[in-house]
Structure 1
């Protein structure tokens, strides 16, 4: 077991496909970060499917955050700020109508309890991890600055040894952050979502093409929560060989 870096940023997304919030500390539950992707809109034009950035890129410009004390019984209010600065709260009927007008389709809000997000916070896995060294290398390969929010990670690690894509070597290994224990399971395969700029929702397909060419369409890794715990920015990350 040896230290490999620290948590540089913790990001969670109270509403699926909306822009998330950067927090200084967080509870990590069995399903992932507390409240991560706990609220979503079902796309009524596609049975049992969620409305996401893939169908509606403009969603990436909507900011969602929890306000108030967090509880395992109920979520604090979820505040949503639109690109033009209008503020809604989750549960407002007008918010639903607003999203329907923007997406051009019927949607239904759904919310999962704080103790149990049934599909896993990201559907594919509990948490997603990106490292600063890999991000910097990808910027070099793409030739442009990259906003890490394009990748929608939960953790951005700053590494002590700046080795790009070193996380390839973590597959099947454990990470320990305080009392939290994670098992790194697999690479994160990328899709059109990374082509959408979180600032203005404009698309640039060359980033995805670069990831396909240089990284076999993978960037970042997924991990499973083995032991829940509370974590905070600046905390040391240990790799268990």
Structure 2
């Protein structure tokens, strides 16, 4: 018997990796994830992608989270906004001046994936509310954790309930199905300042103490379709 785990409260897409995203009422979901999510990134002359950390694929570029982006119609080129929310006329020129790097520019995904891990991140309101209680001094909302889907869970749902979904499939009737795999390992980016959210390193410390820096449920797309705010999600 299917188990209702929640209702989609918010949908987020991040057209340019590591910048602020756009909140949607509905979105197509395909094998890659939410259509247009992380489709673009800031790429440097070495081919590394702008991020909040340094890895084999990524290069830390401080300040990206203060920017935001949205996609044009039919997944056209993204529109980039400066820290005050003003549209940028020439994204490449702006990024070079803003980051003080002459070798950067916007790049569409090719053979190198723009995703840190898996394509879809789902966060429960039960876990988000726990963070608010654990760190009352911080301003907390879902943007700290950059989920694609914020799921409104039933009253009394325990925090970190996402762990119970791993190995199962969340389904929307007649629509999308997501195969839950594991959780994200969080980094200092959770406490990084962004518009409306001041610097708050205590958030990562609280998550590390309580849950080994892990938070959310990462998923692959088991069945594509259209996803809408208000859709009920049940575990198969």
Whether TM exceeds 0.5 here: the answer is: yes
The gaps in structure 2 that reach 5 residues or longer are 54-59
State the match for 2:129 in structure 1. 136
In structure 2, how many angstroms separate the alpha carbons of the residues matched to 1:80 and 1:145?
Answer: 25
TM-score (norm 1): 0.86
CA displacement at 1:15 relative to structure 2: 0.8
Question: What is the CA RMSD across the aligned residues, in angstroms?
Answer: 1.9
What does the per-residue CA deviation read over 1:67-118, in whole Å, with 9 as the maximum and x for residues that have no partner?
33x2xxxx234222212343126xx3xx212212222222132113xxxx75
Q: Distance in 1 between matches of 2:112 and 2:10?
A: 24
Alignment of 1:156-167 (within 5 A): 156-161=150-155, 162-167=157-162
- May I ask how many residue pairs the two structures share in their alignment? 225
The match for 2:143 is: 149
Does the alignment pair 1:217 with 2:213? yes
8 A contact 2:88–2:94 mirrored in 1: no
Q: Distance in 1 between matches of 2:111 and 2:151?
A: 27
Q: Is the 8 A contact 2:170 2:233 kept in 1?
A: yes
Partner SS for 2:233 = strand
2:28 is equivalent to residue 27 of structure 1: yes
Counterparts in 2 of 1:33 and 1:155: CA distance versus 1, 3 Å: same
Alpha carbons of 1:119 and 1:29: their partners in 2 closer, same or farther (altered >3 Å)? farther
Aligned to 1:60: 65
Residue in 2 that maps onto 1:233: 229
Structure 1 stretches of at least 4 aligned residues deviating more than 4 Å after TM superposition: 117-121
Give the superposition deviation at 1:200.
Answer: 5.7
Deviation of 1:201 after TM superposition, in Å, equals: 7.1
Q: Residues 25-104 of structure 1 correspond to what in structure 2 (within 5 A)?
A: 25-44=26-45, 47-54=46-53, 55-68=60-73, 70=74, 75-88=75-88, 92=90, 95-104=91-100
CA contact (8 A) 1:32 1:121 kept: no
Q: 1:201 to 1:236 in 2, by over 3 A?
A: closer
Shift of 1:203: 2.8
8 Å contact 2:121–2:217 — kept in the other structure?
Answer: yes
Aligned-pair CA distance for 1:198: 2.1
Instruction: Give the Cα–Cα distance (whole angstroms) in 1 for the partners of residues 220 and 85 of structure 2.
Output: 36
